Each structure stands twice: as C-alpha cells, then as structure tokens.
Amino acid sequence: MSVHAPGESHPDERPGIELELKFDLSPGDVRKLCRMPWLKALQEGKVHRQSLHALYFDTPAHDLADRRISLRVRKESRAYVQCLKSNTASDCNGFSRQEKEWPVKRARLDPDLLKKDTRAGRALADIDIDTLTAVFETDITRQSRVLVCADGTRMKCEVDRGRIVAGDADVTIHEMELEFVSGEITTFYDIARKIAQSVPVRLSLCSKACRGFSLASGTMPHWQRARHPKPRRGASNGEVLRSALQLGLRQVLANAPCVLARSHEEGVHQMRVALRRMRSALSLYRGGVGIQKTRDLVGMIRETSAALGDARDWDVFIGTTLPAVRYSEAAAPGSEALLRRSSALRDEAYERAQAYLGSREYGCLLVELAACSTVHRDGEKEIGPDGAALGGDVDLGAPATDFAYRVLARGHARLMKRGRGLKKLSAADRHRLRIAVKKARYTSELFASLFDADKTHPYLKALGRLQDVLGHLNDRVVAERLLERVGAATPAIRDKSFRRAVGEVSGWYGHLQVSQEQELLSAWKSFRRRAPFWSA
C-alpha cells in the first residue's frame, strides 16, 4: 500500500520528500503529551536532545518568503548543514516538502552549492543568489523520538521549544512535528489522531521560516483567498474529492492565524467558505470516506463553522451595514452607543472563535481532514485512511465526468424548483433557495475544470450574482437578530436617541430591500437564460 498522489510514488521512496504534520500546542500540553504512557510505549531507544542554532536567508526583496522557500544554515552538534526547502509541485495541502541538504564548514551560506545544484536552480529561478543575506535566527531545543508501532510503521516525533529572533524582535515557539518514515500511512494518521485526542493541538502550515519572515518584516498574518479545485480532464472521482479536501484544508490552516491575531475580517470569512466547500464535497461523495465517517466529519465541520459564524455576522454588521446608514441628527448620539455595544459583542464573538480554534475538537477535525485528503491505492481499489476499501455509492476509481453530469443536473433541477414563483416565496422558501444556489455553485466550481471554460464561465458568473443578491437580502435577517441582541444587552435601550438609531438601521434595510428585490428578479432571469455547461 502506498500514498497516492497523481504522478507520485510513496514519500519514503522519493529522495528529498518529507511528509510531516506540524502541531502548535501550549508549553503545558507539550509536557503532558511527552509524559503519556502510550507515547512512551511506542518510543524506540532514548530521547535524543539537541540544541539547534540556525540562520535563515532571503533577498532584500523577500523573494524566498514570497515563494514559501526556506534557506538556512544550521549548527547540528559540531557540524553545519545548509538546507533548502520548498513546496512540492503537486502539494495541495502543504504537508509535503521538498528538501535538499549540503554539509558546510561554518555558519555561512555557500552560494556555489546552490548554483551548482539543478533542483536548487529550479526553485531559485530568477533570484539573484549573490544578494542573499541573513534575516533572522532561531535558537531551538529539540527532543527527538523514534516511534515504532505494532505493525512496524516508523515515524519521527520531534518537540521543538525555543525562540525566533529578528533584530530586536523575538517570539517563542512550542511545536511538535510528526514525520512519516516507513510502513503504513494509515498507522501514521492513527498516531496523529491519538495526539489530537490527548491534548489540544492545532495543525499548522506555518514553518519556522514563515514565522521568522513575518517577524523580520513586522507583518501581521494575511488572509488568503480560496483556490478552486482544478482536477485534470479525465480525473477520477477520488482525485476530485482529494483535491477539494486538500485545498479546503489548506485554506482553513492558512487563514486561522489571521483569525487568532484578528489582523483582518476576511480571515474568518475565508475559513467558513473553505469549511462549506469541504462539507459540500463530502456530502456529494458520501461513502467516499465511509458513510458514518462522512456524517461525523460533516457534523464536526458544521460545529466549527458555527463557532466562527457569530464573529462573521458582526463583521458584516459593523463593517458594512452601520457605515452605510445615514442617521438623522436626533439619532446620531444613539448611533455611537450602537456602534460601541456592537463592537463589544463582536469582541466577545471573536474570543469565543479563538477559544474554539484552541480546542481539542478543532484539532481532531484538522487531523481527520488531513487523513481523508490522503488517499491510498491498493491494486485497483481506493483505500481510505482507515485501511478499508472506499466507494459506497460512488466508484472513486471511475472517471469523475459521469458522476459530475448526474450531480450537476440534480442540483440544477433542485435550484430551479426552489425558485418557482420567486416573487411570492416566503422568507423560509427564500432561505431554501439561497442554500440551493450556494450548493449548486460549490458543485459547479468543483467540477468546472472537467468542462470547457467558455461554457462554464457564463453559468458560474450568473450563479455567483444570484448568490450575492440572496446573500445581501439575508443580511437584513441577520441584522435584525443582531439588533435585538444589542438592545437586550444595552441599558441605553431606554434612551430615545438609541432607540431611534436602531429604528433607522431597520428602516435603511427596508428601503434597500426595494432595490434588492428588483436586482434579485433580474439576477434570476439572467440565470435562467444560461444553459447548463454540462449539457451545452
């Protein structure tokens, strides 16, 4: 059995490729985990301790940081090692890295080694190697363990504690890396699950290089927009599902630091988009990772999305709704109180979201998604992370196009049914239509690359416009609910100016709804004119 990715072999059969999971955890949980009997029972030999000092390099234009490449010279015991790491070309989830090492005589970069190496030359193409200089350093104490499981599967477990220093700035780190060495990948993920179940951990894509570059530049975590899955023409169902889960998980992990630092409101939005897309893909391919596991995963994703939902609602209300309202003179003082109380409630919502991102439940979800995004091949059968043959009602080895035709047509028919008599639909029916539109869009984006772009683009554009309008109309429902919460939690509710400000927000939405209703009818009419791209 081997890890399967298009055009790749098993990680331990390819020189220079490492498959690892990196966990962030608290200092107390590091100690607790290392003392657990089950972990000690798997340990082969003694714990090896090292003090590691490394210098990381980049150009003045931050070319390596922009390409997610790390280049370092590290002292290991009495030796020095120069190391170049970069993402693999086919890596979607960020857990596979290409690595090349050279022994060097001292703690200095040797540019000639980079210039002579073909693989390094490709990674550093168009970068002036002679301009590379040290930008930060790390001082790390590492505890290394070799874990050997009952079936012979071997992995490295390394716990790093220390700090990153860039000029006068520094940051402490506490992390664990679990690296696959040989054996069964299913067992590797079983151990990862046990770690996540034992203590709260957070799967992370942020390497020491990433943290160091951010520290050196003084930048806060950035949000990252989702990339749509683009499976190749003729891709199997398994490839499509794997691509969706890998990209979705990567988007969640990339935006979590933004939410934790509250550096931009798009972070929480992009996390929720990724969660919905993964939930949609899993629901389409129910049985693809086991019927019960699909249900469990969908439930965990819903729980996580709900934990982030309140923060997103307040972001929209405070960032979009309130600035657009033009208050009367009588309501102006009350509008300030409304903004203050809304901001306080948003702060509380973010505290709850951040607490959830540090929870055991969230850590377990991330490990499950990582496991499910790794698909194995045993003969002609697709094998899941549990080692059992997958499929259920879907043949994951079959070309995805046939399945795509069926689910796209089914989703389109459901959408058209929900939209009948649009003018007279109740609020509940409007909500069902919005959900149907959202599902149809995620499904269409999932399979779009299997069809001609000149046919998919007009359909997706019309569908996106329809979703946006329905979303704006739903904002009013959310805003009314939030206004009730502000009023219930604000002693100033007895103040006439405050009540007037709340009323004017509601009135503004009522006025806006007139134009939005017309926009909805126009968007619906435009969508109905678009021929489905799978039947055009």
Q: What is the mean pLDDT of each run of 10 residues along the chain (536 residues)?
A: 34 52 93 94 94 94 90 90 76 64 92 91 90 95 96 96 94 94 93 96 90 90 87 90 93 96 95 95 80 88 97 95 87 88 96 97 96 58 44 75 93 94 90 94 94 92 95 90 84 74 89 88 94 85
Which class for 496: exposed (0-12), middle (13-18), buried (19 or more C-beta within 10 A)?
exposed
Q: Which own/partner pairs from 461-465 qualify as long-range (CB within 8 Å, at least 24 positions apart)?
A: 462/523, 462/526, 462/527, 462/529, 462/530, 463/437, 463/527, 463/530, 465/523, 465/526, 465/527
Amino acid of residue 514? V
pLDDT at 377: 41
- Extract the tokens encoding 185: 């990948």
Query: What is the pLDDT at residue 8?
Result: 36
Tokens of 98: 């290409």
pLDDT at 279: 94
User: Quick one: which of 444, 416, 433 has its CA closest to 467?
Assistant: 433
Given a contact cutoff of 8 angstroms between Cβ atoms, the answer to whether 504 and 327 are in contact is yes
Question: In angstroms, rounded to a whole number, what is the distance separating the alpha carbons of residues 464 and 119?
Answer: 41
Query: Which residues is 96 bridged to in the sheet?
Result: 19
Q: How far apart, in whole angstroms, are the C-alpha atoms of residue 10 and residue 5?
A: 9
**Within 10 A of 224 (CB to CB), how many other CB atoms are there?**
16
Taking the C-alpha atoms of residue 54 and residue 138, their distance in angstroms, rounded to an integer, is 5
Run of H or E residues at 166? strand 154-166
What pLDDT, on the 0 to 100 scale, is given for residue 7?
Answer: 33
Q: What is the pLDDT of residue 391?
A: 43
Residue type, 320: T
* Three-state secondary structure call for residue 181: strand
| Residue where the block lists tokens 């939209």 | 419
530 near 404, Cβ under 8 Å?
Answer: no
Q: How far is CA 48 from CA 60, 139, 148, 158, in A?
A: 37, 17, 15, 9
Task: For residues 17 and 407, give the distance between their C-alpha atoms in angstroms, rounded to a whole number.
Answer: 37
Amino acid letter at 176?
M
- Whole-model pTM above 0.75? yes
Q: Which two tokens stand for residue 486?
A: 């502000």
Residue among 192, 114, 108 nearest 147 (CA)? 192
Model pLDDT, residue 383:
45
* Sheet with 381-383, side-by-side order of all strands: 2-4, 375-378, 381-383
Domains of the chain: 19-219 (2.40.320.10)
Residues 6+ apart with CB under 8 A from 482: 313, 314, 317, 342, 345
How many angstroms separate the CA atoms of 9 and 51, rounded? 34
pLDDT for res 536: 57
Residue 315 CA to its chain's centroid (Å): 19
Cβ-based burial of 255 (10 A; exposed 0-12, middle 13-18, buried ≥19): buried
Q: What is the distance between the terminal CA atoms of the chain, rounded to a whole angstrom?
A: 41
User: Please, are residues 284 and 407 in contact by the beta-carbon 8 Å criterion?
Assistant: yes
Q: What is the pLDDT of residue 228?
A: 83
